[in-house]
Every structure is written in structure tokens, then in C-alpha cells.
Structure 1
Amino acid sequence: MANVEPEDTETTLPRRQLGRLLREARSATGMNLERAAALVQWSRPTLSRLERGETEKIRVSDILALCEAYGLDGKTTAIARGLAEQVPAKSWWHAYGDLIPAWANLYVGLESSAVSLTIFQSLILHGLLQTTDYAKTLDRIYFPDETEDGLDRRVRIRRQRQHLLTRSHLPTEVAVVLHENVLRTVVGDNKLMSAQCRHLADIGTRPNIEIRVLPFRAGFPLGAALPPFTIMDFDPDTPGRKGSDPSQVYCEGYSGSVYLEKRTDVTMFRQAFRKLQEASLDARASRDLVREIARRFESER
């Protein structure tokens, strides 16, 4: 069934993320809306709109007052302040080291609440599909000053994220297109890559996961190179949520990430993904190729 994109909403991602952060912080204190609003001399509707991400003009001083009222630590307050200082826009560039620290990892919160993920990767495996060794090898290069304990923590977080694919109740639906580059570019050594490919083939047999390989011979199905991207779709019927978060396109780069939520942007990436799927091997043929590459890595050790 073709996806029909909803009309553009009035809220934007930074505002919704700020609202979610403050709502969760208030809930953790046990305060209701009336009590929390009174602490900062607001009305209940004003705070409610802020928590739903529907407030366009935000004063940083008000956000800091709420953070103090909720007893938030310095790191969380810094995230809230950074989100408050973002200019509302349907396209949002989150630069690492900018107002919002890289360690805040806002993407993870979105990923965990999505009901379906549509993923294209051209060079590196998506974190949800990485083995522990693959993930740690990459992190050791990208974070050269990190301790072994720090690297282990990063990998544990990635493994925790992967549970959304394998949980018994309502696992996330995932459609993936991997360029053949991803499978043949060696991370670590051949033994590691063989194990990684076998993991891909195995997890691709799950009913909620479809993995297709875009072979070299497919060329450029869109006539241009595409960045790695993830489309996140959310459940409109989540209890306690008014309406649905709009679908998001997430494109991660070396120095930062782009979040797109305009209907035209989401539609364009969704159409691009369908073309990539059409040019790819089907799921069974893709698994056969992945296993063949795994055997080749094994034989070349």
C-alpha cells in the first residue's frame, strides 16, 4: 500500500523534542500540569502547548526556569536550552558541537518510538544491523581518544537499540536497501566481515525485516548519488499523544545530521527508496548474495 503523506504540521522537530523532554521531566517529578505551570507563573494551557511542541516563540529564560523547577542536571538543561534556541523550520541541521551536544543523540529517541523504518545505506551498515565487533571497530577509529570502557558503553547502547527489531511484542517494521559497497568494504578483517554478513543474512529472515542489496551492476537508479538516509514513521494512535508526529527523514553526515519533515521532502525520499528497491535484488536473492560474500571472506582469511 502506498504511503500518503499528511499535511505539514505546525510544529517542528526541535519544538517537539523540547516538549517531549520537558513533559518527561515533569512526569518524573510527579507534578501535574497545573502545579508545574504555577511554579513558573504560567497558565496550564500555555505549558500544555509547550509540551506538545506547539509554541513557536520560546524564551530561553522560561525554559531555564522550568528546568530548575524540575531539578534537571546541567547536561539535560544544556540540551533543553539548545533546543529552545533553534529557529523553527521544517528542515533542521543539527551540527555536532553546535548548541545541542553530539552526545545528546536525539535521533535515538525518534528511532525508538517509530513503528517503521525505511533505510538506505551506501557504505557503512546502519547501527541497527551491526554486530558488536563491527560497531566497536568503527567506534575505535571514529573516537580515537575513547577508553575501552567508553567504547564498550557505546556498543552496549547500540545493542540496546537493536532490541526494537527482535522484541516479541510489536517489533519495528524495517525495510532496508544496502548498496553492495556496504558488504564488500572491509571493516576490521575478513573474519569480522564474514560474521557480519552471516548476521545480516540471518536477521533478514525475520518477518518484520526486509533487506535488499543494490548490486554494482544496477548503476545509479536515480541518475545521481544519494546520501544514507532513514525515514521514520510514527503511530498515530499512541496513547496519550494528540495526533501523530509527522514522518521524518534523517540524513547523517560526518559533521552533523539533517532532519527533514516537509511533506515534499518526505515524499521525495520515499519515492527514491522505491526506485532503489526496484533496482535491487529481491530479499531471497539478496540473502543468497550476502551468504556468498560471507563464504568468500571466510575462504580468503
Structure 2
Amino acid sequence: MAIITGPGPSLRSQWLGEKLRELRTAKKMSLRVAGEYLQRDASTMSRYENGEYPLRRADLVALMTLYDVSDPKMRADLEQICEDAWQRDWWDSHKDDFGKDFINVPWLESRADRILAYQHYLVYGLFQTRDYAMAVIDQLQYEEDTPEQIARWTDLRMDRQQILESENPPRIEAIFEVSVLKRITGSAEVMRAQLAHLLEIGEREAISIRVITEESGPHKGSDGSFMLYELPEPYAAVGHVETRAGGLYVEAPRTSTFEAVWQDLERSALSEKQSADLIADRLKEIR
């Protein structure tokens, strides 16, 4: 899959469209011919393949017949992606406020088996307290953003954290630069509460928090923060980098770059126990 930037079709629809395009081109079939089979025009078929429109299950079944898809696993995988493309969850209600691009993030979090989070500037969003999150969002706002919009952003960030309390939470491994701990975000009181929260959630079996100190020297994470989501079949791993211009998503095998960086970060980071001790020491320092 190509790199995707800015607002656009959901990853779910794009995955399905990409698979359908691969099947059609493998049969050396034009969009016009495929469209005639579904009684759709070529432009509509193009929108399906670009992920602009999610494909209905009946149309998917018809196309699988047209493209001679007989393998049971492939058929099941395509039907799963189609179902996910149409499924609505709590975060879809935020689409008008935050755009389709960002709404991919809570979907990835909800689907992931394992999340790798590297942060060089701020505490990872799923680990933020409400006061810390509000301070961050308020600082990053544009002049035209209203207090109501900031409150909605904060609510969404808190809502995303419900996956931490689910029956089968994803394994989350986070690595922070020590500057994340040293930077007073919001106020000393807000920062103390945030560090105490990190110590509390760091004790959970599904969560690992590690810190990289200045003494570790240069490492491959110098390009900045990123997320890596490892998803169950039929989905590939997805790398995500958030920018002011929108999110950038990269699908496997291009995620190998993130994987190589993560391995170097793991070599550079303190152990979980050493990291917890460092966070506790920093908590005592803040007055």
C-alpha cells in the first residue's frame, strides 16, 4: 500500500479496495468489465478500489465469483475486511470533528494485538491523565480552535483509553526519552499526577514503560515519535507518524524501517525496573 497522508478514506476501505484491485488486475480485467458485472459504472468501481466507498457484502461476494476467488481463507479474509469497513463504533461519531484520517487511530488501537510507542516529546496518548492531555491539546491548538473543540479532543483521548480496561487489552510497549519526564507539562501538580499514573499503569502485565536517558547516546529514533501497530490476520502491521499536516500511515512490508528503529531503541532504553525507579525519582523532585 502506498503512503497515505491527510484526510481521506478509512484504512479499512482502502485495504479492501487494494485487495480487489489486485484480484481484478490479476485477471487482466478492466474497471468497465467489472462494473458491468455489478451494474456499476467504471467511476464507481474506481471509488471502490480507492476506498472512497466501502463495498457491500453482496457486491463483494459477486466480485469474488467474477475474480475466481475459491480459497476459503482468502474469501473469509475479504469478508472480514468488508465487515470492518461497514462497522461503526464509538469513535465514528467524532469523524466530523477530527476527520477520517485521525479516526483510523482508535480503530487501529482497538484491533491491535501489540502496540509499540516511541515518544521523544510527550507522554503517549493512551497513558495520559485528563489534566495532562488537556494541557497538551491546549498548547498545540490553533488560534481558531475553541474551548469546546479542545474539550472534545480531550474527551476523545480519554475515550480511547477504554481499551486498557478491556478483557483482552493489547500488549503496549512504550519507550520515552527522559526529556518527557523532565518537561513540566501543564503545571507541577499536573506533572506529578501524570508521573504517578505512569508508575501505576506500568505495573500492569500488558504494559511496558521504558526510558532512554541522555547517557545512552545517539540512536535511530532521532527522526521523532512514531507508533507501530501489529494487527491480527488478515491485516498487515501499520506504522503511524502524526504531523501537523495529518497522519502518515505505512503498511507492511515498509514497516520494516520502524521495526529496525524499535530494535535500536530497545537496546538503548533502561529496563522496566530502572525506568520505574527513574520516574519515581523524578516524581520526588517536582515541587
Contact 2:117 2:227 in 1 (8 A): yes
Shift of 1:203: 0.5
Inter-partner Cα distance in structure 2 for 1:225 and 1:19: 30
Contact 1:140 1:146 in 2 (8 A): no
Q: Answer 1 or 2: which has greater helix percent.
A: 2
Inter-partner Cα distance in structure 2 for 1:202 and 1:162: 15
Runs (4 or more) in structure 1 with deviation over 6 Å come to: 10-13, 59-62, 64-67
Inter-partner Cα distance in structure 2 for 1:178 and 1:172: 19
Inter-partner Cα distance in structure 1 for 2:52 and 2:252: 26
Indicate the larger mover: 12-21 or 131-140. 12-21
Shift of 1:61: 12
Partner AA of 2:240 in structure 1? Y
Say whether residues 1:248 and 2:248 are aligned partners: no
Contact 1:165 1:173 in 2 (8 A): no
In the alignment, what sits opposite 1:229?
A: 226
Q: 2:202 aligns with which of 182, 204, 208?
A: 204
Q: Deviations over 1:189-227 (max 9, x none)?
A: 1111111111111111100000000011112133x7132
Q: Percent identity?
A: 22
Inter-partner Cα distance in structure 2 for 1:295 and 1:149: 34
Partner AA of 1:209 in structure 2? I
Counterpart secondary structure, 2:222: coil
TM-score (norm 1): 0.64
**Aligned residue runs from structure 1 range 115-134, under 5 A:** 115-134=113-132
Shift of 1:252: 1.1
Please provide the CA RMSD for this pair. Answer: 3.4
Inter-partner Cα distance in structure 2 for 1:217 and 1:151: 37
Inter-partner Cα distance in structure 1 for 2:194 and 2:183: 12
Shift of 1:146: 3.5
Say whether residues 1:279 and 2:268 are aligned partners: yes
In the alignment, what sits opposite 2:277?
A: 288
Residues 58 and 273 (structure 1), Cα distance of their counterparts in 2 relative to 1, 3 Å cut: same
Inter-partner Cα distance in structure 2 for 1:207 and 1:64: 40
Unaligned runs of 5+ in 1: 1-9, 23-39, 68-99, 237-243
Partner AA of 2:259 in structure 1? R
**Aligned residue runs from structure 1 range 91-102, under 5 A:** 102=98
Q: What is the total number of aligned residue pairs between the two structures?
A: 221
TM-score (norm 2): 0.67
Indicate the larger mover: 100-109 or 126-135. 100-109
Q: 1:58 aligns with which of 47, 50, 56?
A: 47
In the alignment, what sits opposite 2:169?
A: 171
In the alignment, what sits opposite 1:18?
A: 13
Q: Deviations over 1:234-260 (max 9, x none)?
A: 122xxxxxxx11101101122222211
Contact 1:197 1:290 in 2 (8 A): yes
Residues 20 and 284 (structure 1), Cα distance of their counterparts in 2 relative to 1, 3 Å cut: same
In the alignment, what sits opposite 2:105?
A: 107
Inter-partner Cα distance in structure 1 for 2:121 and 2:246: 17
Shift of 1:287: 0.7
Unaligned runs of 5+ in 2: 18-34, 57-95
Inter-partner Cα distance in structure 2 for 1:62 and 1:156: 28
Counterpart secondary structure, 1:269: helix
Contact 2:15 2:51 in 1 (8 A): no
Shift of 1:158: 0.9
Contact 1:249 1:260 in 2 (8 A): yes
